[in-house]
Every structure is written in structure tokens, then in C-alpha cells.
Amino acid sequence: MSALYKQHRLFVIIFTILFISIATTEGKTKKLFFKEHQAAVVLDPGHGGNDTGAQGPGGTLEKAVTLTLARMIADELGNKYRVVLTRTDDYSLDLHDRAAVSNNIKADLFVSLHTGGSFLHEASGMSLFYFKEILKPALIPEAPPKKPFENDKTNTNWDNIQNKYTTESKVLAKLVQDRLLQQLKSKKSKIQGAPLIVLKGAGMPAILIEIGYLTNPVEEKKLNDTKVLSDFAIGISNGINDFFQKK
């Protein structure tokens, strides 16, 4: 190999490295720009893995309904926002870790998705919750926390941070409720405060939505209907859009 050829090859290698590093830097800059200007929405499909959530008389599992719904909402919101799901498949996730996902990416909004489960099979309708520290036990069965904020990299004390966002969370609940009722042509819904662990440590406006009672055979049938779920997804997305427009 001649000395000239060696030199030429060295130049080629140097230029290639230089080109790759410039391209990478540009990519990063663009990504940062994208992040700074887009609001981040975290969707939290309730339950997952061994934690199936409520179960309908026909065998429908809450964990499956919530994941399908979260994916539909993400599609509906499109690329207007940076949408992140706390879980993207069928695996379990600690309640604290769900809020931690949202805190770690400094999300602007956190929406936890559930279906109601009740021993009273006639229970029906949707419920929207914001966090409220009250003495009566949560109306939604939640698994006890296993570990406090293990995956939280921000080193912030998130305990009770949601209390700072009560007003905004109530506004979000109302806007989403209005749009859901409009989309589903329904009148049956309520907004209430509850001491829900999954909302407690969220450092942004946060709500939990129960889209009907899976244990009610009539509602179970609806929650298996893609058209009905799509209406829920549209209603929730419209409510989220309204929230950001009013901000």
C-alpha cells in the first residue's frame, strides 16, 4: 500500500467521521426544537400483566380495553402533541411509576384510563376523577404501591404535588366530560374528587377517566365495539384539545 493511498484513505475516514457527527448534531438540534414547542400528553392505560383490572361477565378484561383506548386516543391526537403511553403492551406497572413516567418527561397533561368495575351489575355510566385527599376509601380498586418512585429520575418530592393542580385538573375533567357527552350523545356521567394514588404524584393537570362499567353486560358489549371506543377516543381527544386552547 503506497503512502499516498494511505493518506487518501485517512482523509476519507476523517471526512466520514466529520460528516456523521455534523449530521447527528443536526438531528439532535431538530429533536430538541421539536420537544420544546410541542405539549406532551401522557396516556396511562390502567392495569396490565397479572393485574387484569375489572372483568366483564363475557370475559372482557379492563387492561385490554384501556390499552386499545389509549392507542386510539394517541392516533386521534396525531402529531399535534408528543404523546407518550405509560405502557405500550400487556405488562404490569406500579401506580407510582405511571406518574413518574409523566414527571420524567415533564408532561403537560396526564390522563389515566379505566373502566369501572362494580359488584352492582346494573351500575353504568362514565366517571371522571381528579385527585382529592379525602378520608373515605377510593372508589376505584387500586393495587397498593410496591415501591415509592423508584424510577423517578428527577429527584423531586412528588408526594402530594397534585394538590397544586387541582383547579386545572377540574377544568380538564369538565372539558373532557363535555366532549364525551357530546360525542356519545349521553347524559350519564359524573365528576368527583378521590384520593387516587396514580394521580397523587403527578406534577401536572391529571385526571382519571372510567369509561363505563365493564361488569354491566350491556356496557361490556359496548366496550367491545370499536365504533363506541372510537367515540370515547374522539371525545377525550377533543377535550384535551380544548384544554390546550384555553391555556
Question: Could you tell me which stretch among 26-34, 113-121, 160-168, 215-223 binds Zn ion (CB under 5 A)?
Answer: 113-121
Q: How many residues bind to Zn ion according to rule CB under 5 A?
A: 3
User: Which residue's beta carbon is nearest to the bound Zn ion?
Assistant: 114
Q: How far is the CB of 74 from Zn ion (least distance, A)?
A: 19
Q: Binding marks (x or -) toward Zn ion, 64..103, rule CB under 5 A?
A: ----------------------------------------
Which residue in 82, 114, 108, 81 sits closest to 95, CA to CA? 114
Which is closer to Zn ion, CB of 171 or CB of 208? 208
Q: How far is the CB of 53 from Zn ion (least distance, A)?
A: 4
d(CA 176, CA 239): 4
Question: Could you tell me which stretch among 25-33, 49-57, 118-126, 165-173 binds Zn ion (CB under 5 A)?
Answer: 49-57
Interaction between residue 45 and Zn ion (CB under 5 A): no
Interaction between residue 46 and Zn ion (CB under 5 A): yes
Neighbours of 198 (CB within 10 A): 30
Residue pair 62/115 in contact by the 8 Å Cβ criterion: yes
- Which residues fall within 8 angstroms of residue 11, CB to CB, at 6 or more apart? none
What is the b/e burial string over 6-18, where b = at least 16 CB atoms within 10 angstroms of the residue's CB? eeeeeeeeeeeee
Question: Could you tell me which stretch among 36-44, 46-54, 76-84, 96-104 binds Zn ion (CB under 5 A)?
Answer: 46-54
Q: How far is the CB of 162 from Zn ion (least distance, A)?
A: 18
Q: How far is the CB of 47 from Zn ion (least distance, A)?
A: 6
Interaction between residue 53 and Zn ion (CB under 5 A): yes
Measure Cα distances from 181 to 80, 128, 191, 231 in Å: 23, 12, 12, 10
Which residue in 146, 141, 132 sits closest to 199, CA to CA? 132
Chain Cα centroid distance, residue 68: 12
Interaction between residue 114 and Zn ion (CB under 5 A): yes
Q: How far is the CB of 214 from Zn ion (least distance, A)?
A: 9
Q: Enumerate binding residues for Zn ion (CB under 5 A).
A: 46, 53, 114
